[in-house]
Amino acid sequence: AQSVTQPDIHITVSEGASLELRCNYSYGATPYLFWYVQSPGQGLQLLLKYFSGDTLVQGIKGFEAEFKRSQSSFNLRKPSVHWSDAAEYFCAVGSGGSYIPTFGRGTSLIVHP
Amino acid sequence: DTGVSQDPRHKITKRGQNVTFRCDPISEHNRLYWYRQTLGQGPEFLTYFQNEAQLEKSRLLSDRFSAERPKGSFSTLEIQRTEQGDSAMYLCASSSTGAIGNTIYFGEGSWLTVV
């Protein structure tokens, strides 16, 4: 069965600093990987996704993620964080014909001014 | 593109009552998903439809839960005899089939509080 681990429950960064959110997945074949963001009380918005090809994926809002098969990781990065990036971030893995994503528990990003 | 719409956004109900949530997917999407999210957790898959056919159900979907998508458009999720453990946000999402890589779009969610 596929699974996702987000080892950091909370991450605190200063505005303008760089950011990396960790994601490790477990799946036997080539996974489909996603990062979503959720603001308080809201639904989820897709930041980026990886299905195949270039392992460095560019997303919206200046985010990028790199798929590393050898490490079973798909970490999310941003070079300079803005206060509006404070939110909950979810990594997800999908597989098979249904592509139903399985989500991690999320990482809460706190941005200090 | 009006996005995925869910109604109601918030529902407070007494234990033992039945509740129903409605989801209107993006109009051209033939796949529709239901997830449940509790505080501090990621969304958990409940079920999904392709057109009107319910193709997969999670073991989380107990017999008190039923989902329908009668004409392959909107969907309803009903919870009978609600329990306090049902308190959560219920998320609906939709996507189109076809090429690998179709994005799944989520609605704003329906919050359920069982008192």
- pLDDT tens-digit readout, B25-56: 999 899 999 999 998 899 999 999 999 999 98
Q: What is the mean pLDDT of residues B87-111?
A: 86
Using a CB–CB cutoff of 8 Å, tell me whether A86 touches chain B. Answer: no
CA dihedral for B61, B4, B39, A35, sign (positive or negative): positive
Chain B environment of A103 (Cβ under 8 Å): 35, 42-44
Query: Which of B26, B21, B25 shows the shortest CA–CA distance to B7?
Result: B21
Residue B97 has a pLDDT of 75
Residue A104 CA to residue A102 CA, distance in Å, equals 7
Report which of residues B80 and B61 the model is more confident about. Answer: B80
The whole-chain average pLDDT of chain B stands at 92
pLDDT band at A2 (very low <50, low <70, confident <90, very high): confident
3-state secondary structure of B96: coil
**Cis peptide bond N-terminal to A113, omega within 30:** no
pLDDT band at B99 (very low <50, low <70, confident <90, very high): low
- Chain B: closest CA distance from residue A25 (Å): 14
Query: Which of A83, A70, A38 shows the shortest CA–CA distance to B93?
Result: A38
